[in-house]
Amino acid sequence: MQSAAEPLIQPAEKAAEWWRGAVVYHVYPLSFADADGDGTGDLAGVCDKLDYIASLGVDMVWISPFYRSPMRDFGYDVADYCDVDPLFGSLADFDALVAKAHRLGLKVVIDLVFSHTSDEHDWFKQSRQSRDNSKADWYVWADAKPDGGPPNNWQAVFGGPCWTWDARRQQYYLHNFLPAQPNLNVHHPAVQEALLEAMRFWLDRSVDGFRMDAVNFMMHDPALTDNPPVTTPGKRTRPFDFQHHFFNQSHPAIPQFLSRLRLLAESYGDRFLVAEVGGERADEEMKLYTAGKDRLQSAYSFHYLYADELTPQLVRRGMEDWPEDEKGAGWPSWAFSNHDAPRSVSRWAKGRDRKAFAEMGLFLLMSLRGNAFLYQGEELGLPQAHVPFDRMRDPEAIMNWPLTLGRDGARTPMPWRAAAGSCEGPEPWLPMDPAHLALAVDLQEADPGSTLQAARRALHWRRTLTGLRTGGVRFLDAPAGVLAFERGRGSEAVLCVFNLGSAPAAFRIPPGWRIIERVNAPGVEQGLLAPLAAIFAVR
């Protein structure tokens, strides 16, 4: 840590683009904070905890869906884009949340799920009634094959074919996820206009941006061409894994619609749009959807979220794919954990000290070039929670049990108090893992050596040092298992060193650098870098 005798590092200048290099705190509202005591989180609970979020030093908060929904996929099946589900509160609660966040200096980003809706959305209810009503073509409908089978071989993410038969229309409808999540026909001009109106509704309520869910699933191949099989497969847990998804997603017209979203957002001022992009062509599509000045500002993939191991090669490959001098290139975002993936500590620690790994991981995340997404509880070092099979809620986990960890273990309640957990009163919608109570916020707030306090230090340097926030990257030679790079140049340069391995490594800080922060690095002055060490140094 910097001593009182050392000169202070000057705070980073405010970037012209406030979102560039920002840290985003991701809230999954069902599990974050329960204000009304019904066992599920709500918007009033998020509002109550905004002071805590602001105290971390983040720039904005992203809130997963809270729209009206039957909760088949826990909010990602939207029944009304322009209202709050009573489970989460009301529009007045949302307005109060945004107002308080802005008073605290926090931007607010919300999810837009534009690839599909719930089958209980009024649009779908009308669309399925006939083939000639005003919304008949707002979803993707197709006739059966002569033998009665589905129109093609497309497979859904959550298992089984992408097609479900509807007796009313005597046709199949497309769903890339659950049958209860029919795909919108975003090729249709009227659908695009309706989605733009939904976006405008929330811009009028002063949101600062949007996280665009499943962007590359927004448009399909209208010819319904069969997907080719994967000829050199890796791990397969679902029928989805047997195909290259060239035609049920990733249509070339998607960027044009993204440009319309960007144009609308910018009519409200400096707003931020970030895409979620998954799949085998994610790196290519992240760049496509953020290229130039008329598409989205940023995108993130599952580069880290589905990685089995954290290695120097993984980090280097991710950052080198976004060179700072590439003309017209967009700006990446990175997440180690979120609501869709098992928590990083459980995926990557592999028998090592979880606290040390969590702290090293926080410093690494804050050193990456791009925006950093911090998932609720990540600042506490939470591992993946154990959820018994009879308490599982995630349809993907239930379908693939026991082959995958599923998403429930990353969605359990936030442990605010060691004594009571997140919710007092009714049993929470997912069980609290007792192991999380030992990592509760109240305990870590009182412990200067806690992971939470380490997270605040990492975030402090991210905000303070221009090199960490927006600087370029230059990788240095380092021993096996050690990752070393510089962020920024000249007086703004920051040296970042991490031992991702399981053994000490011989490594000395190069001459001319002064260590300003370290975790798990007691012997670095003697040329020994301990496992899971992290170091920040400046000139």
pLDDT tens digit sequence for 24-72: 999 999 999 999 999 999 999 999 999 999 999 999 999 999 999 999 9
Q: Give the model's pLDDT for residue 10.
A: 39
Of 5-9, 237-241, 251-255, highest mean pLDDT? 251-255
Per-residue pLDDT for 266 more than 60? yes
pLDDT band at 2 (very low <50, low <70, confident <90, very high): very low
285 has catalytic annotation: no
> By the 8 A CB rule, do 460 and 55 touch?
no
Which pLDDT score, from 0 to 100, does residue 404 have? 65
Minimum mean pLDDT range among 158-162, 170-174, 198-202, 233-237: 233-237
**What domains sit in the chain, N to C, each tagged with a CATH number?**
23-118+188-462 (3.20.20.80), 472-538 (2.60.40.1180)
Closest Cα partner for 96 from 63, 56, 135, 48?
48
Apex CA 211: angle with CA 334 and CA 456, to 5°?
50
Structure confidence at residue 375 (pLDDT): 98
Instruction: Identify the active-site residue in 77, 213, 285, 379.
Output: 213
Identify which has the larger pLDDT, 207 or 524: 207
Task: Tell me the C-alpha distance between 219 and 91, whole Å.
Answer: 30
pLDDT at 1: 36
Average pLDDT of every residue of the chain: 93
For residues 218-226, give the mean pLDDT.
98
Q: Tokens 């990557």 belong to which residue?
A: 348
135 vs 124: CA distance, rounded Å? 8
Residue 24: count of CB within 10 angstroms of its CB: 26
Contact 209, 273 (CB under 8 A): yes
Q: How far apart are CA 451 and CA 227, in angstroms?
A: 46
Helices (H), 299-353: 312-320, 344-348
On the question of pLDDT at 187 being above 70, the answer is yes
Report pLDDT digits (tens) over 5-35: 333 333 444 446 999 999 999 999 999 999 9
In contact, 128 and 169? CB cutoff 8 Å: yes
Is 119 labeled as catalytic in the residue annotation? no
- Is pLDDT above 90 for 454? yes
Examine the pLDDT at 191 and tell me if it is beyond 80. Answer: yes
Closest CA to 362 of 352, 351, 375: 375
pLDDT higher than 60, residue 434: yes
d(CA 453, CA 359): 9
- Across the range 358-368, mean pLDDT stands at 98
State the pLDDT confidence band at 425, using cuts at 50, 70 and 90. Answer: low
Q: Is the pLDDT of residue 291 over 50?
A: yes
From the candidates 119, 208, 276, 379, give the one annotated as an active-site residue. 276
% pLDDT > 70, the chain: 95
Q: Say whether 232 sits in a helix, a strand or coil.
A: coil
Residue 430: C-alpha distances to residues 44, 64, 423, 427 (Å): 19, 17, 11, 8
| pLDDT over 90, % of the chain | 87
pTM, two decimal places: 0.94
d(CA 161, CA 164) in angstroms, rounded, equals 8
Give mean pLDDT, residues 422-444.
Answer: 86
Identify the pLDDT of residue 397.
Answer: 77
pLDDT above 70 for 246? yes
